[in-house]
Structure 1
């Protein structure tokens, strides 16, 4: 061998590692705030490299069985090059404290805002908000309660709420709640924790389960931006009033947005709220403040037509079953009571369709109303709402990829 070259014995000691996939993951981490956030949250004994290596292992393997990690690490280039046995991995996770998790999420949030600034985007950080239910076999854990199980699983559950950045898909916050806490209340608790969590300069985007007067007021009091999808089915609500006022405009072809393919109208409304409510004290003009809210109303003709066609098919099915003397299922029986009129004559029972009731049930189909204190443009609001579906991918990862749809632990520390 020439001077400075490898000897045969040295060449025999060279270790070959698979590096393509982990190199790709390295680039993704470098382009996101993940690496710096982990380093800030877990600096001791370079635990941030261990956590990242475990994440790589879970991503690149068919399951998250930690017992397979040593074999994987022997053949793969990882951020942490040392050995990690299942017991060592358990110790890494057990050392993680609540404050470290909050430090990690704060760093992620700061990193995402910094990236936006570098890209010349001064808008607030838009975060998709939603919750899911995690079933549990253990009834005695602190948050395990029976409630509305979103997976129709006949087990008590814990509710997990997440805030996710729709652009990167990164979760920047999560919190667990009792399984019987309604969705609308979970948002109020997150907003109440705003000062401690340091969630600033953000717009929360949520579905209909989280909208409501109290949540709007809480967001305004705590300077948290929001984009809420309002419920259109509540009789006599402001939402229905606005739809009725703009019904003609929302079917004007000049109001059709070419990008979203829906009709849209924006109305600015002065919203009165109490900035510093005091229990037992009546609200007066002196204690009230006013905020300008943007109410974006949309109409999708195709959704409305599909709903109408679906209603007609269900009515026809009910009439066919009744004519054949067949029993109705629960949903059909409910529709029978809602839109049919019962007639009794000479001991004979018959039914007819009440057209007004059918029209009333279809009156608000195809309409959507999004309310925001921050997003004034109807198209931007529509796109921000559509992007909130990224949180469903996060739940899919949590439940399916990480196997958390049902937990089998018996103590709270293991669950955490």
Structure 2
């Protein structure tokens, strides 16, 4: 693995029917299942496009609390400096300070409401950001970048003394027209839903706070029910639609930053492979030991699937194959071997492995069986 390779880090939740797995707890389920879950953390290489680390977590573990243990766990990589790509669920001042303390580089999404983001966002909001010279056609976004200072704090464990310093960071601000339109439309539909629920008197428990936040509701014997939208609250919520912000201590260029941040799509596809192709959406295990073994085998399988996908991408094989049809073409080749005896291939391939199969072995970088 190259020293400069960025590592995408994320988590997913795996629901479980089993009551025997001690890690299965109720938590924030990313797929809306009302089941106990195990959280799985995964580290994925941007260049190698392979998973390099996984860790099981209790189902009620929050993303923001994981960074400290991650940095302790990954000593096996034997790299003094690492580069992380993370979404905003991992952001906290403590996590940023810990990454800086260990001299790691990071690229992380942050909320638009954070002080360091708001300062620059308010400065360029509107036409200043969305003027043509700030549009990047390669990434399809308007973008501007700023150099800022991070208030670094480190508490020494023995003395309790706090070291305070200024560290340079880069703030990348983006605007996406399509995302803005989609968010406005989605929010408009949500407000209409809230209004309809108020009119019908059938309030949803999960919407109680938003009724008061976005509407003034009054009722009189003569005029009946009167619902007035709170324009200021609605506009305040809408003002960040289409905008998003990245923070980094190593990536200066906004185009490079967003391309690296989109590497997280690889890890999303890895989670999809785990849940769909490897059947881990909902796990059932007879014991914790059984669960541990299954999880380890699935991680090994994910490495193979990730490698096959990478080779298919690089060799243009998706024009002719899906991953399943490619595996089906190779699955009929079977090798038999007994201890102390020479191996032999299955009957179907005794004459010759086809040219098509030989080309697939070559594309995968695997020696053709003989």
Q: Is residue 191–residue 224 contact of structure 1 (8 Å, CA) maintained in 2?
A: no
Residue 351, structure 1, aligned to residue 230, structure 2: no
Q: Is residue 314–residue 332 contact of structure 1 (8 Å, CA) maintained in 2?
A: no
Shift of 1:406: 2.5
Give the aligned partner of residue 56 of structure 2. 176
Give the aligned partner of residue 255 of structure 1. 134
Q: Is residue 107–residue 246 contact of structure 2 (8 Å, CA) maintained in 1?
A: yes
Q: Is residue 42–residue 51 contact of structure 2 (8 Å, CA) maintained in 1?
A: yes
Gaps of 5+ in 2: 293-370
Show CA shifts across 1:144-202 (max 9, x none). 22211222222222111011123443101111111111011122320233435535443
Q: Is residue 166–residue 391 contact of structure 1 (8 Å, CA) maintained in 2?
A: no
Alignment size in residue pairs: 290
Question: RMSD over aligned Cα, in angstroms?
Answer: 2.5
Moved more, 388-397 or 299-308: 299-308
Give the secondary-structure state (helix, strand or coil) at the position aligned to 2:136: coil
Change (3 A) 1:310 1:331: farther
The structure 1 residue matched to 2:284, chosen from 393, 399, 408, is 408
Give the secondary-structure state (helix, strand or coil) at the position aligned to 1:147: coil
Q: Is residue 194–residue 222 contact of structure 1 (8 Å, CA) maintained in 2?
A: no
In 2: Cα distance, 1:407 partner to 1:316 partner: 38
Shift of 1:305: 2.4
Give the secondary-structure state (helix, strand or coil) at the position aligned to 2:65: helix
Shift of 1:243: 1.3
Give the aligned partner of residue 246 of structure 2. 370
Moved more, 243-252 or 257-266: 243-252
Residue 268, structure 1, aligned to residue 147, structure 2: yes
**How do residues 13-412 of structure 1 correspond to structure 2 at under 5 angstroms?**
112-113=1-2, 124-232=4-112, 234=113, 237-248=115-126, 249-278=128-157, 281=160, 283=162, 287-319=163-195, 325=200, 327-329=202-204, 334-346=209-221, 348-412=224-288
Q: Is residue 67–residue 95 contact of structure 2 (8 Å, CA) maintained in 1?
A: yes
Give the secondary-structure state (helix, strand or coil) at the position aligned to 2:21: coil
Give the secondary-structure state (helix, strand or coil) at the position aligned to 1:274: strand
Give the secondary-structure state (helix, strand or coil) at the position aligned to 2:262: helix
TM-score by length of 1: 0.64
Shift of 1:367: 0.9
Gaps of 5+ in 1: 1-111, 114-122
Show CA shifts across 1:324-378 (max 9, x none). x463545665543221112344563311111111100111111111011111110
In 2: Cα distance, 1:372 partner to 1:310 partner: 30
Q: Is residue 227–residue 381 contact of structure 1 (8 Å, CA) maintained in 2?
A: yes
Higher strand share: 2
Show CA shifts across 1:82-122 (max 9, x none). xxxxxxxxxxxxxxxxxxxxxxxxxxxxxx32xxxxxxxxx
Which structure: larger Rg?
A: 1
Shift of 1:207: 1.1
Highest RCO, 1 vs 2 (Cα 8 Å, sep ≥ 6)? 2
Q: Is residue 20–residue 288 contact of structure 2 (8 Å, CA) maintained in 1?
A: no
Change (3 A) 1:200 1:151: farther
